[in-house]
Amino acid sequence: MKLISYNVNGIRAALKKGLAEWLAGEDIDIVAIQETKAMIEQVDLSELEALGYTAYFHSAEKKGYSGVALLCKQQPDMVNVGTGIDWIDIEGRVIRADFGDLTLVNAYFPSGTSGEERQAIKYKFLDAMYDWIEELKAKRPNLILVGDYNIAHTEIDIHNPKSNKKTSGFLPEERAWMTKWFESGMIDAYRHLNPEEQTYSWWSYRAGARAKDKGWRIDYASVSEPLRDSLVNCTHRKDAVHSDHCPVFLELDL
């Protein structure tokens, strides 16, 4: 199975920048998209459908905000939007699909950069997501959670750790949650396969950060312990420039 997880920062904008053409040159079974910023009826899906994808959306109630989607070449056995937790689901942050005994969750974690109120919501989300995944994992042990986690876990995951220690996305409490997450039976696929590599998945639009490769690794593919031996490859596709993020590519031998 070949999958990419991609925060496109607006799916309509990404399609205008050539997202479908880029996908046409790839062999990707599932595209997990974050930050769609659109309802499904607002998106011209014809180019994606021509590539063999069926689209499933979970959009925020607030227009032009948040939202996740799955583009699948193989029909899932089940697609479930949301978590059943209302305050999370109104922001369109989680979509789940089951393929046989494999469960894929695509999630867009909140950012706390706009102030203390959103940072508090981010911490609340982290706790709720941890518990929700623990319950799901007990029923569906072969689990993948991809998405924009909006947290750089360790100093190797951020270009300037010293100056960002008090910045949302690299706060001690957020990083501690990531450690707890990866000690709970979830594996950081990229770091597992590339233990020393320093590479990023997001760059600020300011000061030529991408050209200088001054970025953060905040987009992850986590797999549960039973899938450890299925991991083949996990890379960052920096050639894709439809967003301020790049796709995370994940390949599993199932």
Q: Which two tokens stand for residue 239?
A: 């050639």
Cβ atoms of residues 64 and 74 within 8 Å: no
Q: Which two tokens stand for residue 180?
A: 């707890």
* Catalytic residue selected from 101, 127, 131, 148: 148
Query: What string of pLDDT tens digits covers the 254 residues of the chain?
Result: 999 999 999 999 999 999 999 999 999 999 999 999 999 999 999 999 999 999 999 999 999 999 999 999 999 999 999 999 999 999 999 999 999 999 999 999 999 999 999 999 999 999 999 999 999 999 999 999 999 999 999 999 999 999 999 999 999 999 999 999 999 999 999 999 999 999 999 999 999 999 999 999 999 999 999 999 999 999 999 999 999 999 999 999 99
Using the Cα atoms of residue 35, residue 201, residue 221 and residue 86 in order, give the sign of their dihedral: negative
This prediction has a pTM of: 0.98
Give me the pLDDT at residue 229, please: 98
Give me the pLDDT at residue 180, please: 98
Cβ atoms of residues 94 and 88 within 8 Å: yes
Sheet strands (E) in the chain: 2-7, 30-34, 54-58, 68-72, 78-81, 94-99, 102-108, 142-148, 186-188, 202-203, 215-216, 219-224, 231-236, 248-252
Give me the pLDDT at residue 131, please: 98
Q: Which CATH number fits domain 2-252: 3.40.50.2020, 3.40.50.720, 3.60.10.10, 3.40.630.30?
A: 3.60.10.10
Give me the pLDDT at residue 44, please: 98
Give Rg (Cα) of the chain. 17
Give me the pLDDT at residue 104, please: 98
Note if 148 is an active site residue: yes
Kindly give, in sequence order, each residue whose CB lies less than 8 Å from that of residue 221, ignoring residues fewer than 6 positions away: 3, 5, 144, 145, 146, 188, 189, 190, 234, 248, 250
